[in-house]
Amino acid sequence: MSKFKIDNRTLTLLSAQVNLSETFSHTLRSTPQRVALPFRLKVERNQVDSTFTVELGSERHTLTLPHGTKTHLKLADFIEEIANGPIDPTAELPPQLHAERQYGVFNAQQREQVFGLVCIGGFLDLDLGFELPIRLAVHRTRTRTGVTVVMSIGVKSPRTKCFIVCGTDVEMYGKICESITHLAALATPAAHAA
């Protein structure tokens, strides 16, 4: 069974389209083979809620949601569930729903690992909720109180930062954490950032 996913461009379009009353055409694509699956979305916006009708081939599915900031994400989950079939609760790793994703969450344990890299140098993959981790490499020099930092996210066209930080371990740690937060903000899909 191929897994169809809504891409970031379509998510951004859905974000605007949930606020309109109109019929829209979209295409879902499967990940490995890039098989296209066209569908139509009819939006009927009311005072307190919106009714969405998804037409996929000869099937027609309807969903009514109250207006909110995550309406387009809940709609995206609904469309993916229609295309892929219901989610299997017995699966080892169930897919994460769009409406429940949190991007750029930089927790205390990850901050401790980064501080360890500042002190001794090394390499680390930080999972901040994106499809790919932020890769962080820190080169520590012993002759001078400074580190060289290279961090990136992505494979095909990665977002990369490379810089040198000098100062105490705490000062360098603060600047690196700030840079990680900036890179996470850049990598957050536009539809989720709103």
Distance from C-alpha of 152 to C-alpha of 160, rounded to nearest angstrom: 4
Whether residue 113 sits in one domain with residue 93: no
Residue after which a domain boundary falls, among 44, 75, 100: 100
Whether residue 150 sits in one domain with residue 66: no
pTM given for the model: 0.56
Mean of pLDDT over the chain = 83
Question: Considering its fold, how many domains does the chain have in total?
Answer: 2
CATH number at residue 125: 3.30.160
Whether residue 131 sits in one domain with residue 87: no
Q: What is the mean pLDDT of residues 121-132?
A: 83
CA 95 to chain CA centroid, nearest Å: 13
Whether residue 120 sits in one domain with residue 96: no
Whether residue 133 sits in one domain with residue 170: yes
Whether residue 95 sits in one domain with residue 23: yes
Residue after which a domain boundary falls, among 100, 126, 157: 100
pLDDT of 94 reads: 55
Question: Which tokens sit at 28?
Answer: 């879902």
Q: Mind listing the pLDDT tens digit for each residue in 7-64?
A: 878 888 888 899 889 999 998 888 767 788 899 999 999 999 999 999 988 889 999 9
Whether residue 123 sits in one domain with residue 41: no
Cβ count within 10 A of residue 185: 11
Domain that holds residue 76: 4-100
Distance from C-alpha of 70 to C-alpha of 43, rounded to nearest angstrom: 16
Which residues, other chains included, contact 126 with Cβ-Cβ below 8 Å and sequence gap of 6+?
A: 106, 110, 113, 114, 133, 134, 135, 136, 180
pLDDT interval class at 194 (50, 70, 90):
very low
pLDDT interval class at 149 (50, 70, 90):
very high
Residue after which a domain boundary falls, among 43, 69, 100: 100
Residue tagged 């990136």 (tokens)? 152
Coil/strand/helix, residue 27: strand
* Torsion angle (degrees, nearest 10) of CA 60, 61, 64, 70: -120
Whether residue 96 sits in one domain with residue 113: no
Distance from C-alpha of 194 to C-alpha of 191, rounded to nearest angstrom: 6
Q: What is the mean pLDDT of residues 132-140?
A: 89
Whether residue 132 sits in one domain with residue 84: no
pLDDT interval class at 97 (50, 70, 90):
low
Whether residue 116 sits in one domain with residue 185: yes
Q: In the chain, what are the helix, strand and coil shares in percent, each to the nearest 5?
A: 30, 35, 35
Whether residue 95 sits in one domain with residue 113: no
pLDDT interval class at 102 (50, 70, 90):
low
Coil/strand/helix, residue 118: helix
Whether residue 128 sits in one domain with residue 89: no
Residue tagged 């998804």 (tokens)? 54
Phi then psi for 183, rounded to 5 degrees?
-65, -40
Distance from C-alpha of 62 to C-alpha of 42, rounded to nearest angstrom: 9
